[in-house]
Structure 1
């Protein structure tokens, strides 16, 4: 790939890009653990991404994207759109690289995510999730400043960065004398993580899990066309997965790779959060627990080597207590 092709925002993510992203990420971040969790005699392998410095996998895509900016792009800054975890990933990477970052975030985002994003030095623009378009707001900011958009999932670098978790998974299973993975069950909002893992682990069956009411990717795959969320005001505790609709770049990968998608309820998510606390002694946020909830509920049948993503742990204390208490 030429330098010009590499810098094109219209390029497609690929396995080579994921390997390159993984090499970059390995230099600054330790691997997150791949933890065994036994349920009814079956061992699941849990990728504990809540142990990232920003508490979620989003740091991967943000770092890959920002480190590929030209000097001119760095000088003009970046704009991100996020409900919170991607915001922290972009803010963390921007601070480390000395790049100005502005993040468009919903006004009802968890306080812990808003506070953490500000603490990394990013500017925040709030919007109403039900009545305003974050993408339109971001486009306006970019038109004024010339900044680079770092989208939460509709971006080839972000997809490749998230896929670096798949490279780690393969290596970690190999270190344990195992093959696979046979199956990956991924938490899914816009589909960046699921698309990246699909490209990183082409031999694994890919299953996605979304919260009830926010299952637009599942419905889109069933219809073979991108469909938006039916009701942007639908209540859910899974704020990390409240994306209005997927993007073509994600959908093109997922439509060829996802074998099944399931929606999980709040009570099923709560049960998964409790199990992670009781058995793994870790805190997982609601959106980060939907993949495990899909298996625990029986909606997804585990294969011999099944990996589930525990994609984040950024949750307000009161919400966590309410869910697991």
Structure 2
């Protein structure tokens, strides 16, 4: 059985521009069931032009090609990697012995500096060496934010909530666009993988245009299943915040980025996940519709999204 058949890829046009109410409802059911089983799904016909994605990757790759000293000017010590540049070998998967083999940049939501969340959402940094980084990077941020909202709307319907349930809970969410560079692996004895086995922190993650194979998803039986999507597909997975909110109805599935074999390891890998977060003051409290006799509440105490984020950032050594 192919991995594409095992982890479903669905056409979101059936939800955003449906041919019938029946097909829209069928999409909601299929998407929800995919997430119940895998915590992952591919989304195609998402409406983000390939040219826009290619342009973003070109800009991001040009940044990572800059001298190390130049890039480190955009690192914020003590900032937990929230904005700007995080150097190679800093982030470490929860419980892992070795750091991940990657460097990355963070683009966050742009909000007025007198906004109620300005104290926990820093202004973005932009590399002066690449003037178009802002427009291209934030343009992709906004496109993925919109797509993520569509996925959340479908999931809300699947668990018996109003379609617009998440709208006012994510409209100033501390979401992050993270261009990542995994440099070539030049020695055979590296003890760690490009990104260690982990679960994401946020509500959902949208991964656009990974330039090489390597993503693997852990099945319920413990098997590592490769998931390399087609060029026109964005991979969307459940994060820990949504797992907690839905009382594990939607599982936050363990995944990793492995080192490719042979000469492929000597090629760089680039990927750009978008981590969709709720508003910092959103209270993550188990939804009553996700509690029953067979699935009693696992989380008797609620926690704010910001509190949960800070707790997890400490665990992965970004704070």
Report if TM-score (shorter chain) is over 0.5.
Answer: no
Q: TM-score, normalised by structure 2?
A: 0.28
Q: TM-score, normalised by structure 1?
A: 0.28
- The structure having more radius of gyration, on CA atoms, is 2
Larger helix share, 1 or 2 = 1
